[in-house]
A and B are shown apart, each in its own frame.
Chain A
Amino acid sequence: MIVTALVLGPILIGLLLYLLPARAQNVAKPVAAAVGGLAFVSAALNPGAPDAMLRWLSRPFTASFHFGFGPISYWIVLLLALTTFSAALAIGGSRSRDIAAQLLVLQGAMSGVFLAKDVLLFALFWDLMLIPVYLVMLQTSTHPRAAWKYLIYNLVGGLALLLATAGFGMVTGTTDVIGAHLPGTIGTAWGLWIFSGFAFAFLVKTPVFPFHTWMPDTYAELPAPMVALVSAVQSKAGLYGFLVIALPFLAPEMLQARTLVFTLGLIALVYGALAALAERDAKRVVAYSSLSHLGLIVLAVFSGSTLAFTGAVVYIVAHGLFSAALFLTLGAVEQREETRELGRLGGLGRRNPKLAGALMLGALAALGLPGLAGFSGEILILTGLFEAGFVWPALIALFAVILASAYFLRLFQGIMNGPEVPDLPERCDMNWLEGLAIAPLVAGFVLLGVNPGPVVAFAAHAARLTPPAALTSTTSSAAEKTRVVGYH
């Protein structure tokens, strides 16, 4: 019941917001924040909520409207609800009603992706995620090409996912498999094709080099609340897909593709860091830093190390928290100064200590300062990579992590330090509403940094269900025997 409400509630309320009369449009923002807050509280209080299930298809393969918490998805859904709450509070401007409505639709669609226990349902919400982001971009973006780029890249990815899902369903006879104790793999001639479809969709959404070019444009053009949600949660959909679909059912194929994906992940790691170092647009700096950080998680997912797997889950949540905080802070800066150009900004820190503090905290978490959430994830992943014998990838990743300090300090200095730029508009420090928006995210990544225990425990549980070690040996003959194969 609760899990279904987490998916359908935001979508319905979001659509209902369109019915608001013109005079009452400022209700939209508090409503969106309330939905986010309510979702967070109800998910936090009911970690053991039962699954909701309704049969959808019985032929040619079975599929269900099956929602439920999983050990990984539970934390991502909490992150999603918290980010929605924060993002909704940061909504501003003339189109606030439309943005609030689409924010809620996006929240519901993403809840659907992460709560789906059925691959076909996962694919349905995966495609549905496209629409709110595209519509908001159409209405707010000044560069129509950015919206096209977002749509075409992600739709092609979604279609590959759809084809792979059809193949998956035909081979296994059911798509209602996510989180199920199905210790098998596809293991037929179709396996590599199906995996390719899934992997393409997941890598485009994450994104990973060379499918990333839509990402900086999208992040730069979307309004801050929307981009906070997209960067915090939507970018995790692909990684989540690898963890819950590819790892349990397509491990041999993942192993075959490992060298390729490792290479792409490493390129993303280094290229993202270097691009962030050179970028002049503040939002694009954070966008490229995301490319770099997500590349690290891709390495962790494909490494086959339980430690790195745990680290990946921690880092997924951590990255969501600090990237949302960073984008919301940058949104607040942009709203005041009407520019994101690092060259035109400067010296804000003196008059805006709270804003500077928020940006500093976010940047420190992102560059992996011990005690904040980014560190917990990174250290687990890097140790896991070393442990699994990937010394060189780990060293390259470490180098990129060090670069993170450089580009985040550059970002902070460019905006907050240095001489004040005289022709910028009037300055006022962060108000209480903006503070309320960012505070829960900051609290989240501080708590997670001090004690990542709860997330680690859930991730360890997930790792027991689907051992990442399946990736380390080519002969998983025990699994071969129990696999579900054959055409239906």
Chain B
Amino acid sequence: MSSDIISYPLISYPGPADYAALLPAFVVALAPLPILFVDLFARGNATARRAVAVGIAIVCLLAAGWLEYLQYPHDYSAFGGAFIQGGFSIVFSEIVIIATIATLMLSLGVGRTDQVAGTTSLVLWSATGAMLMAGASNLMTVFLGLELLSLALYCLCAISARQTAREAALKYLILSSVASGFLLYGSALLFGATGSVAFAALAIAPVTPLLALGAGLFLVGLAFKLSLVPFHVWTPDVYEGAPLPVTAFMSVVTKAGTLAVLARFAYAALPAERASALLVPLWVIVALSMLVGNLGALAQTDMKRLLAYSGIAQVGYIVAAFAGQTAYGLRYALLYLAGYTFMNLGAFAVVALMSKDGDAVVGIGRFAGLAHRRPWLAAAMTFFLIGLAGLPPTIGFTGKILILAADVGAGYAWLAGVLILGTAISAYVYFKIVRAMFVRVDLAHVRDERSTNVLPWIAVGVCAAATFVLGIVPLTPSNVLPLVK
């Protein structure tokens, strides 16, 4: 055992290239410093104060996105393999960056002015955590990224005048901590079984009961964070209670970060010949998520809760693409994740545009007759819902057919069948909203609130364009493998 530890040294001497790999994450992590500093002096004009905070954040995020792009597609194993910057992590990081920019656009009018610099900083730190998770390839980095992501989110959930926000934050804190506990315990067992925290070392270790148990607990922790059934019960409550931009952020960024870890773990950290057997419980969980998520969404009347349940199912579709650990399955999972990001954020942006402060409780009833009151908004929402339901001409359609093909090709046709079944159920969920928008109603009885913040319109436009274009030109990153070095 001791010789194993020696053969995987934990300490190496990082050089400039190692720091360059982390540079985009540093840019995002350090952006709060100027934001908080400038905020000290911009006490007067409330609008300017908000605009400056969000503006600096978006500029830094764009810079980070550009830096990520510059490093594409070269793989570099930084810090002795603790963080691998390559096609895989860059695509995930770009998704995180896009989602964070959209979140900040939605958040411009939300909350108290004196808290804006703080909430913007927390969003950026949370995004940093997700970016670390995108490249994390040992157990320590995974935990570091996950906790950075989560700790900032606990605070973000709690910052709201609403009573439900505190309940949501507490629920999230407790259940997320339990999940982290599982993850940490699993990591400890994996370390115990192999003598190393590196994913690369796990992949070549013999499968012992201890390793299987550790892998199982690790996966349970990830399933908690991804809110896969049966570890999903916290999600609707937390989504409902949290401020709308935070919900939008959680629905994409948390999932993107955790999916990156899950993909790397499933593809690269498990011994290749035994991975199929070890991951069987995961496919069962995924199948359950696709069904239960959509069934749960059927009964919802609050948009945030509905999107929470629909997100459970959508993540199920993405993870289903990992079945059989095929290279193209991973690429289609990434493609569908990007599509889900745009469709889901688009839907959240529409919801944000339907309340005055961008953060009110929006029930399905509020969509009544929307097509006759605000046709553009209704058209955009219809497009996003069509995409989430897997109909053309959207990435929802193209991404789904590719995932189906990946599952069938990998010999997991049953999972493809469950995916189809879940999609059939989801049609009722999404078209319930479409129906509410288009049916003729007496408009005098409908509350027609409009947001004062126009930035979500940009998010709606970009998301709709991306949903369409990705559906026609399904670009997938070609160099997502290998995931460890």
Taking CB atoms and an 8 Å cut-off, the chain A residues in 136-155 that contact chain B are 138-139, 144, 147-148, 151-152, 155
Q: Is the CB of A163 within 8 A of B397?
A: no
Given A60-B406, A160-B420, A170-B408: A124 and B328 interface contact (C-beta under 8 Å): no
Q: Is A306 an interface residue (CB 8 A)?
A: no
Please tell me if the beta carbons of A57 and B474 are within 8 angstroms of each other in the complex.
Answer: yes
Contact between B401 and A165, CB atoms less than 8 A apart:
yes
Complex CA gap A482/B431 in Å reads 45
Given A127-B392, A166-B401: A147 in contact with B409 (beta carbons within 8 A): no
A159 nearest in chain B by CB position = B420
Inter-chain residue pair count (beta carbon < 8 A) = 84
Q: Residue B393 at the A interface, CB < 8 A?
A: yes
Query: Once the chains bind, are B417 and A59 in contact (CB under 8 Å)?
Result: no
Asked if A128 and B393 sit within 8 Å, CB to CB, the answer is: yes
User: Is A346 positioned at the interface, with any CB of B under 8 Å from its CB?
Assistant: no
Could you tell me the distance between the alpha carbons of A55 and B424 in the complex, rounded to whole angstroms? 29
Q: How far is the CB of B414 from chain A (nearest CB, A)?
A: 11
**Chain B residues, CB < 8 A from A170:** 405, 408-409
Dominant secondary structure of chain B at its interface with chain A: helix
Question: Which of A135, A138, A139, A193: most chain B CB closer than 10 A?
Answer: A138
A152 & B420 in contact (Cβ 8 Å cutoff): no
B375 x A18 contact (CB < 8 A): yes
Cross-chain contact A169 with B375 (CB below 8 angstroms) = no
A59 and B328 contact, CB distance less than 8 A: yes
Closest residue of chain A to B438 (Cβ to Cβ) is A138
Contacts of A139 in B (CB 8 A): 438-440
With a 10 A CB-CB cut-off, give which of A18, A56, A124, A163 has the most chain B CB atoms.
A163
A134: chain B residues at CB < 8 Å are 431, 434
A258 to B474, CA, bound (A): 38
Closest A residue by C-beta to B386: A131
- Report whether A159 and B393 are in contact in the complex, using a CB–CB cutoff of 8 Å: no
Q: Chain A at the B interface: mostly helix, strand, loop or mixed? A: helix
**A257 at interface (Cβ–Cβ under 8 A)?**
no
Contacting residues, chain A, for B413 (C-beta < 8 A): 167, 193
Bound complex: CA A163 to CA B405 (Å): 8
- C-alpha spacing A135/B434, complex, angstroms: 9
Task: Determine if A211 is an interface residue (Cβ-Cβ < 8 Å).
Answer: no
Given A148-B431, A170-B408, A193-B413, 13 other A-B contacts at CB below 8 A?
A60-B406, A124-B397, A125-B392, A135-B434, A138-B439, A139-B439, A148-B435, A151-B431, A156-B424, A159-B420, A159-B423, A166-B405, A487-B409
Q: Could you name 18 residue pairs across A and B whose Cβ atoms are closer than 8 Å? A: A56-B474, A57-B402, A59-B328, A60-B328, A60-B406, A124-B397, A128-B391, A131-B391, A135-B434, A139-B438, A139-B440, A144-B439, A148-B431, A162-B401, A163-B404, A166-B405, A167-B408, A169-B405
On A, residues with C-beta under 8 Å from B are: 18, 56-57, 59-61, 120, 123-125, 127-128, 130-131, 134-135, 138-139, 144, 147-148, 151-152, 155-156, 158-160, 162-163, 165-167, 169-170, 193, 487
What are the 3 A-B residue pairs with the smallest beta carbon separation, nearest first? A166-B404, A138-B438, A166-B405
List chain B positions with a Cβ less than 8 A from chain A: 328, 375, 379, 386, 389-393, 397, 400-402, 404-406, 408-409, 413, 416-417, 420, 423-424, 427-428, 431, 434-435, 438-440, 472, 474
